[in-house]
Structure 1
Amino acid sequence: MTSPTSPQAAARERAGEPGLATTVALYTLARLGLLAVVTVVLALIGVPWLVALLVALVVALPLSMVLFRGLRERLDRAIAASTARRSSERASLRAQLRGDVGPPPSPDTPVAPASPSAAPSAGASPSAAAAADGAEGSTGSDTASPAGDGPAR
């Protein structure tokens, strides 16, 4: 069974840009391939394998910066897109936790509260909400804060 894709992933697939994991894997394989090619070329010349590998490690870095410039730019774009997506998701989650914005609509969530102890719906009158808050706050502890107030920072 496949997992549903996000709208950003669908747009990225339509645009032809692979995801972050694919781009990282491709860039890593390209760098390792370059390292292997330089090592084999040096070994065929007659350089011992260990020395060839060490020289290839030093030579492959600047070569990869020149040869894989386009791939590195694509990796930078994928990282930036992933960072922007995660920042917007984090901001949305923080807004939901503060109570600024309701959770995104989901087809699985019921419209009305399932239990009588659940919070009143948004369409309830303010007096009903106050009565519900008063009933919850009558336990003797005064830890409940008014709706919409976040934790003190």
Structure 2
Amino acid sequence: MTSPNPAPGPAEGVRDDTTDSPADSPSGATGSPGGVALAVALYVGARLLVVAVIAGVLVAVGLPLLVSLLIAIVVALPLSLFLFRGLRARLAAEVDAATASRRARREQLRAELRGDAPGEDP
């Protein structure tokens, strides 16, 4: 005897972005273009600052500038993965919120074009 098929639902490991809202996200991500730009600017600025600090220390030690920059870039890459975990999470949350917002607007526009807009009598 076989069991009946379960009701269809979201697949394992697949996010259902239709229920996410900026208020539900733990980081308070808005998904607005300004929020995404700010998150990108903070993350990139922090990474560049780490490269500059490491290169500055190496130049102060006596290494040539170009060699110091190359070493600083190589060292800063893995270092920033650990140092800026929070900034990366904030950036990912902003991008996810922006994607969900765009998806919702696109679905709303498609519904309006089909004539399924809410509040409209057929």
> TM-score normalized by structure 2?
0.68
For residues 89-131 of structure 1, give each alpha carbon's deviation from its aligned partner in whole angstroms, at most 9, with x where no partner exists.
Answer: 11111111121115x8xxxxxxxxxxxxxxxx958xxxxxxxx
Separation in 1, partners of 2:94, 2:29 = 8
Q: Which residue of 2 aligns with 1:24?
A: 40
Does 1:52 find its partner at 2:74?
no
Q: Which residue of 1 aligns with 2:104?
A: 88
Corresponding residue to 1:72 among 73, 88, 91:
88
Q: Which has the larger radius of gyration?
A: 1
Question: 1 or 2 for the larger relative contact order (CA 8 Å, sep ≥6)?
Answer: 2
* Regions of 4+ moved over 2 Å: 15-18
**CA RMSD in angstroms, aligned pairs only:** 2.5
Q: 1:35 to 1:55 in 2, by over 3 A?
A: same
Separation in 2, partners of 1:44, 1:78 = 38
Does 1:101 find its partner at 2:117?
yes
> TM-score normalized by structure 1?
0.55
Tell me how far 1:57 sits from its aligned partner.
1.0
